[in-house]
Amino acid sequence: MIDLSLIWVVIIAVGVLIYVILDGFDLGIGILFPFFPHQDDRDVMMNTVAPVWDGNETWMVLGGAGLFAAFPLVYSTVLSALYMPIILMVIALIFRGVAFEFRFKANRSKHWWDKAFIGGSALTSFLQGVILGAYIQGIETRNGIYAGGGLDWLTPFSLFTGLSVMVLYAALGCGWLIFRTADQLQDRMYQLMPKMIIALLIILGAVSIYTPLTHPQIAERWFSQPQFMYLMPVPILVLLFTWLALRACKQRKELSPFMYMLVLVFLAYTGFLISLWPYIIPPSVTIWEAAAPESSQLFTLIGALLLIPIILIYTGVSYWVFRHKVRVGDDGYH
């Protein structure tokens, strides 16, 4: 018999991963804006994502809709626990989206839209990390209802993971801009990206140490036998691809730094899934306990299987059409 709950977990997990990758470097560009005060540089940076940025967020919508359809208990419980950071994130996304549209049409007020783009990108990234940290910490439930307080999400750990996601997105943004830009802007990205990668490695190491120390279930998952032997390649691969990314920057490769960063994102995401499996509301509710009736899961799965290929196709076509490098003076987004 087909496990529909497992299929839906895979769909949601892949959708969230694609969102983190696509909107990650997109948000990272906004985080990098303060390092590049000249308008020509900022125009180029924004033009590398302006034609495709709004399509990236389709995957976040897909993940939320998938939760609502396949795991309504998770949708209601997690959103109840994280209402405040989610609402603030949506507001930040609105400011960022408006900045995209108005910045290219503004003259004297352009610096205000730059600030809106920077603030919206940084706050969105930070709050996504806070939400991630709060989720890892666990959500207190009683009889399927959120039983915690309104500020349980606000802890030193969640604030630290918020910073972690900002650094991760900034490093992704550097890799993307190395690939899509040229000349002096690209040179400065080659100088900035190694610093971001080293900072990211330190942060990932700190999270990887702190999490098992404070969560016995996660420690048991990683360090008991035989799981320890099976999972050991994950941290080893993180170190390997960090070194490869640093070497690619030193050798001034154009595509390799971005590709290695994508692998690092995948490895970090894999570690996150391994740590929590099979709990979809950590630390106590499994994916099967939170699942909707099979009839509901099957009905919505049919729609998802029709819709997802369409999303993949138009996303792929968009990136293929706008695959060329962007330089100062090129016709931009209007």
Q: Do the domain assignments include residue 330?
A: no
Number of domains in the chain: 1
Q: Do the domain assignments include residue 62?
A: yes
Q: Do the domain assignments include residue 334?
A: no
pLDDT in tens, 39-98: 888 888 888 887 787 777 788 888 888 888 888 888 888 888 898 999 999 999 888 888
Confidence at residue 330, expressed as pLDDT on a 0 to 100 scale: 63
Q: Give the domain CATH number at 98.
A: 1.20.1630
Q: Report the predicted TM-score, pTM, of the whole model to 2 decimal places.
A: 0.90
Confidence at residue 197, expressed as pLDDT on a 0 to 100 scale: 92
Q: Do the domain assignments include residue 328?
A: no
Q: Do the domain assignments include residue 329?
A: no
SS3 breakdown of the chain: % helix, strand, coil, rounded to 5? 75, 5, 20
pLDDT in tens, 81-136: 898 999 999 999 888 888 877 877 767 777 888 888 899 999 999 999 999 989 88
96, 58 contact by CB (below 8 A): no
Q: What is the rounded distance in angstroms from the CA atom of residue 290 to the CA atom of residue 261?
A: 33
Instruction: For residue 333, give Cα distances in angstroms to 46, 244, 321.
Output: 8, 34, 14
Q: What is the rounded distance in angstroms from the CA atom of residue 60 to the CA atom of residue 20?
A: 9
b/e string for 153-187 if b means 16 or more Cβ within 10 A?
Answer: beeebbebbbbbbbbbbbbbbbbbbbbbbeeebbe
Q: What is the mean pLDDT of the chain?
A: 86
Q: Do the domain assignments include residue 143?
A: yes
Tokens representing 235 are 């941290």
pLDDT in tens, 132-175: 989 888 888 887 788 878 888 888 889 999 999 999 999 999 99
Confidence at residue 321, expressed as pLDDT on a 0 to 100 scale: 84
Q: Do the domain assignments include residue 309?
A: yes
Structural domain boundaries enclosing 8: 2-320
Confidence at residue 332, expressed as pLDDT on a 0 to 100 scale: 54
